[in-house]
């Protein structure tokens, strides 16, 4: 299954070459170009984080061999690029909503999607296993769960419409926090040395259930916030930022309590 790592190199070049070319030629955001800057910097920061994880907590056969680390890093980059194609089908698109329409709220969501997916993929690399096929399996489990939970939250609370149509910045910030926090929980749920497929499913169910409960609570909260004034203190940017920080800190505390496997 080493061909997965080799195949990731051209996939990464194509996907991220197109990404950064689009950033260069796309229509700039009105005023400050924070949205475009975020889409340029967040993927780089995600790769730095993944590099640290690979060098410190990946399989012994990976972290001890720098070329394999870079191939695994390329695998992660291609994973992020492919995940963005899927997320674009689920309501918020980097090209359509950020680059073409200059939607700052959507830029927050895209940033959160990248961060959350990075956590999912990073967790799949923590621990020893027989090869990249188990990394692929664990990354699929955690990332598909992230897709599913986002789909359910959006269906229950119309979050994507609030972001893409209403351009509500507070909702975008909270969604960013939700993605990051959920990615932490789901990524943590697939860490550890490989035992077997049934054991992985069992451990994932036991460790990832807070992400499902969090998705339910988030959907309820977002439905409630839609009934409030747009400038209500919990709908505005400062209040939404505070909630996003609470999301991430809570998820980080949960992962820390479980400990690094």
Q: With beta carbons less than 8 A apart as the criterion, state whether 117 and 79 touch.
A: yes
Q: Which of 17-21, 32-36, 145-149 has the lowest mean pLDDT?
A: 32-36
Alpha helices in the chain (DSSP H): 3-25, 34-57, 60-63, 66-89, 104-124, 132-157, 159-164, 169-188, 197-226, 237-258
pLDDT band at 31 (very low <50, low <70, confident <90, very high): very low
Contact residues for 218 (Cβ-Cβ < 8 A; gap 6+)? 153, 157, 174, 178
Task: Quote the radius of gyration of the chain (alpha carbons, Å).
Answer: 18
Digit-coded pLDDT (tens) for 154-197: 999 999 999 999 999 999 999 999 999 999 999 999 999 999 99
% the chain with pLDDT above 70:
93
Q: What pLDDT was estimated at residue 155?
A: 96
Condensed to tens digits (0 to 9), the pLDDT of residues 48-69 reads 999 999 999 999 989 999 999 9
Measured CA to CA, the distance from residue 223 to residue 253 in angstroms comes to: 26
């Amino acid at each position: 299954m080493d061909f997965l790592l080799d195949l990731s190199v051209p996939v990464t070049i194509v996907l991220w070459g197109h990404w950064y070319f689009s950033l260069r030629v796309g229509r700039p955001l009105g005023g400050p170009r924070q949205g475009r800057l975020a889409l340029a910097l967040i993927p780089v920061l995600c790769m730095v984080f993944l590099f640290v994880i690979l060098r410190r907590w990946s399989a012994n056969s990976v972290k001890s061999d720098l070329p394999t680390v870079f191939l695994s890093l390329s695998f992660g980059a291609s994973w992020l690029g492919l995940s963005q194609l899927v997320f674009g089908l689920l309501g918020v698109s980097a090209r359509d909503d950020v680059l073409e329409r200059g939607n700052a709220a959507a830029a927050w969501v895209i940033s959160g999607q990248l961060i959350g997916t990075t956590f999912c993929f990073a967790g799949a690399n923590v621990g020893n296993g027989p090869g990249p096929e188990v990394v692929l399996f664990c990354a699929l489990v955690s990332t598909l769960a992230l897709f599913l939970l986002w789909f359910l939250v959006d269906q229950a609370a119309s979050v994507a419409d609030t972001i893409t149509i209403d351009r509500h910045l507070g909702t975008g910030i909270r969604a960013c926090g939700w993605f990051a926090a959920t990615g932490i929980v789901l990524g943590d749920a697939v860490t550890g040395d490989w035992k077997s497929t049934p054991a992985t499913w069992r451990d994932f169910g036991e460790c990832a259930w807070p992400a499902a409960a969090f998705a339910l609570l988030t959907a309820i909260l977002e439905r409630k916030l839609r009934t409030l004034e747009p400038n209500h203190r919990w709908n505005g940017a400062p209040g939404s930022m505070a909630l996003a920080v609470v999301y991430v800190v809570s998820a980080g505390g949960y992962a820390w309590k479980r400990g690094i496997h």
